[in-house]
């Protein structure tokens, strides 16, 4: 899926930001945190209808909505966790959906001598992608702690070393 290509670009961008001063990102972004991301996969077909995000594959169905999450008909709901999890899933999907175009525009401009809008958009896109992955990973930990049968539609593997 596109996510695997995005993961490779995330690592490349983190390296570029560390080694190319002209591509320095805003001070609030720490590219070292992105290096903790080892793998991101969405092994499902994704559809969005209104405020419901549906993931389906091989008979398994996961629905994420603002007030609940449903795995094969089993509903998990928590007034504190569900809305944040929904927002982070949606933010991740948005980042994953827009980043390939941003990366392609950056690729076309890499040989331009002066800083370009495409380069800045790439840094912004990679920052957004990294944050959305890490935020979603944090929410998934909270969901697993609250719901024993929690199944994440987005599989995120982080390094075991501290961020």
Residue 16 lies in a domain: yes
Residue 141 lies in a domain: yes
- Using one digit for the tens of pLDDT, what is the confidence trace for 62-83? 999 999 999 988 999 999 999 9
CB 71 within 8 A of CB 80: no
Residue 127 lies in a domain: yes
Residue 18 lies in a domain: yes
Statement: residue 31 has pLDDT above 80: no
- Split into its structural domains, the chain has a count of 1
Residue 163 lies in a domain: no
3-state helix, strand, coil in the chain (%, to 5): 50, 20, 30
More confident of the two residues 77 and 103: 77
- Phi then psi for residue 149, to 5 deg, are -95, 20
Residue 41 bridge partners (DSSP): 155
Residue 61 lies in a domain: yes
Measured over the CA atoms of residue 142, residue 134, residue 62 and residue 155, the dihedral's sign is: negative
Q: Is 69 exposed, middle or buried (0-12, 13-18, 19+ CB in 10 A)?
A: buried
Domain range for 111: 2-158
Residue with tokens 């593997």: 157
pTM of the model: 0.74
Q: Residue 55: which of 137, 151, 134, 128 has the closest Cα?
A: 151
Statement: residue 55 has pLDDT above 90: yes
More confident of the two residues 47 and 25: 47
More confident of the two residues 97 and 109: 97
- Using one digit for the tens of pLDDT, what is the confidence trace for 111-160? 666 566 777 777 777 888 888 999 999 999 999 999 888 899 999 999 86
More confident of the two residues 146 and 104: 146
CB 130 within 8 A of CB 9: no
Residue with tokens 């995005």: 6
Residue 20 lies in a domain: yes
Mode of pairing for the β-strands spanning 74-76 and 37-41: unpaired
């Amino acid at each position: 899926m596109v996510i695997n290509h995005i993961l490779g670009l995330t690592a490349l961008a983190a390296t570029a930001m560390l080694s190319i001063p002209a591509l320095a990102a805003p001070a609030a972004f720490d590219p070292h945190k992105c290096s903790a991301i080892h793998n991101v996969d969405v092994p499902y077909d994704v559809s969005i209808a209104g405020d419901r995000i549906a993931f389906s594959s091989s008979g398994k169905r996961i629905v994420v909505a603002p007030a609940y999450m449903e795995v094969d008909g089993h509903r998990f709901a928590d007034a504190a966790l569900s809305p944040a999890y929904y927002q982070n899933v949606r933010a991740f999907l948005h980042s994953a959906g827009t980043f390939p175009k941003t990366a392609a525009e950056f690729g076309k401009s890499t040989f331009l001598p002066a800083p370009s809008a495409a380069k800045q958009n790439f840094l912004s896109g990679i920052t957004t992608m990294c944050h959305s992955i890490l935020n979603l990973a944090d929410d998934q930990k909270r969901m697993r702690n609250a719901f024993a049968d929690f199944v994440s539609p987005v599989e995120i593997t982080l390094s075991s070393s501290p961020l």
